[in-house]
Chain A
C-alpha cells in the first residue's frame, strides 16, 4: 500500500482565498483524522471520521473550516476564506481501529500522511 496520500504537499495562497486539502487514506481503514501542526499549538486534532461519518469536529477552529468524506477513499479539508493564521502543516491520518479476533483484539495505530504545508500570505 502507498500509505496515506495527501495533496498538495505545499500550498501558498493569499488571504481570502479558498483552500482545499485532499487526503486518500490507506485502503481498508475505517477511521480518518485531520490534524494541524503549528509551532505555537503543536499537533491538534481537528476532526475525525468513522466509516465516512464525522464523529467529532470539536477541534475545528472556526466555521471557515469544513471537512467532508464523500467515500471511503477520499476526504477534503476546506478553508474558506483563508487567513494568515491558518498557516500550518495539515496532516491526515487513517487507522483500522481494531484488528484480530474478538477477545484478542489489538488497537492499531494511526498512520500519518506526509502533510500539506499551507502558507497564507
Chain B
C-alpha cells in the first residue's frame, strides 16, 4: 500500500519569505504522480502543482516549485515570496495510474504579516 507522510503538522512564515513543506511517500511503483493541494479556510481543495514521476525536471508554477527526489521518495513544496493568501492546509498526494489517490495528513501553513 502507498503511504504519504507529511512530518510537519504546522508551519509559519513571514510574508515575503520562503518556506518549504516536506512530503515523503512509500511505494514500489515506478510510474506514478504526485500533487500538492491547498485547502484554505473556505475548505475548497485547490491543486497547487503536480509532478509526473517519469520527469526528472522539477515542476514549477509561479511562486510554487517542488524538489522531487525519486530515489529518496521525497516531494517537497517550496513557496517563494509568501503571501497572506497562502495561509491554508497543504496536502501532499500520491496517485498511481489507476486513479487511486492517497493524501498525507496535511501541513497547516500560516503566513504572518
Chain A residues packing against B (C-beta within 8 Å): 31, 33, 42-43, 45, 48, 50, 55-56, 89, 91, 93, 95, 97, 107, 109-112, 114-115, 117
Find chain B residues with CB under 8 A from A89 CB.
Answer: 43
Determine the residue in chain A with the shortest Cβ distance to B37.
A112
Contact check, A110 vs B101: say whether CB atoms are below 8 A apart: yes
- Residue from the list B47, B52, B100, B104 in contact with A45, Cβ < 8 A: B100
Contact-residue size bin, chain B (C-beta under 8 Å from the other chain): 20 to 34
A107:B45 contact, CB within 8 angstroms: no
The chain B residue sitting closest to A97, CB to CB, is B99
Which chain A residues border B104 with CB–CB below 8 Å? 42
Residues of B within 8 A of A117 (CB): 43
CB-based nearest A residue for B47: A109
- The 8 A CB mask of B39-79 against A (1 = contact, 0 = none) is 00011111100101000000000000000000000000000
Could you say which residues of chain B place their CB within 8 Å of the CB of A45?
A: 100-102
Whether A114 touches B43, Cβ cut-off 8 Å, given contacts A45-B101, A109-B50, is yes
Question: A43 and B100: CB pair below 8 A?
Answer: no
Which 5 pairs show the lowest CB-CB distances between chains A and B?
Answer: A112-B45, A43-B103, A109-B47, A42-B105, A115-B43
